[in-house]
Amino acid sequence: MRVERLNVAHELTGFSCGVKALDTWLHDHAKENQRRNLSRTFLLIDDADTIVGYYILTMGGVRKQSLPAKYGRGLPGYDIGMVLLARLAIADFRQGQGFGRDLLVEAVERAADAGLHVAARSIAVDPIDESARAFYTHFGFKDVAGDPEGRMFIRIDEALAALGAAG
């Protein structure tokens, strides 16, 4: 298994995770968003060159009022740097084998590295459904009370510790 940054040579149409919105986004938007510097897509590829999963990162900012209370204490009133884990999906034929956790570790490590260069303090996710919400909760992501969008956050240092990733 290896992780590669998406490039024009990757064939994406065969990927299916069972969630139409995640499949469609990869097939129809990933390459264009990458070309336009709107996001970065990383693919988990097996030894047969089959895409096993993917995740997408982008940078952003968040006001302390939009963070879980624990994370917002003592922060200034302007946007705080964050990394958005915009999507994470595992191919339906490989689900339940630990690859979601593996990709999450990879994404957290990449976010931590980006945070060394562009001052990102936390990672945010927008779970697509309750199953995804449970997955992220299991790894320490926290809801924001009263947030109708359902965004979840974890500080990068806490994510590294929770996942046993190298810091």
pLDDT of residue 166: 45
pLDDT of residue 79: 77
Q: What is the 3-state secondary structure (H, E, C) of the chain?
A: CEEEECCCCCCCCCCCCCCHHHHHHHHHHHHHHHHCCCCEEEEEECCCCCEEEEEEEEEEEECHHHCCHHHHCCCCCCCEEEEEEEEEEECHHHCCCCHHHHHHHHHHHHHHHHHHHHCCCEEEECCCCHHHHHHHHHCCCEECCCCCCCCEEEEHHHHHHHHCCCC
pLDDT of residue 165: 54
* pLDDT mean over 95-106: 90
Domain coordinates of the chain in residue numbers?
A: 2-163
Percent of the chain with pLDDT over 70: 95
Residue with the larger pLDDT of the pair 165 and 130: 130
* pLDDT mean over 127-135: 90
Pick the CATH number of 2-163 from 3.40.250.10, 3.40.50.920, 3.40.630.30, 3.40.640.10: 3.40.630.30
pLDDT tens for residues 49-93? 999 999 999 998 877 777 777 777 777 777 778 899 999 999 999
pLDDT of residue 42: 96
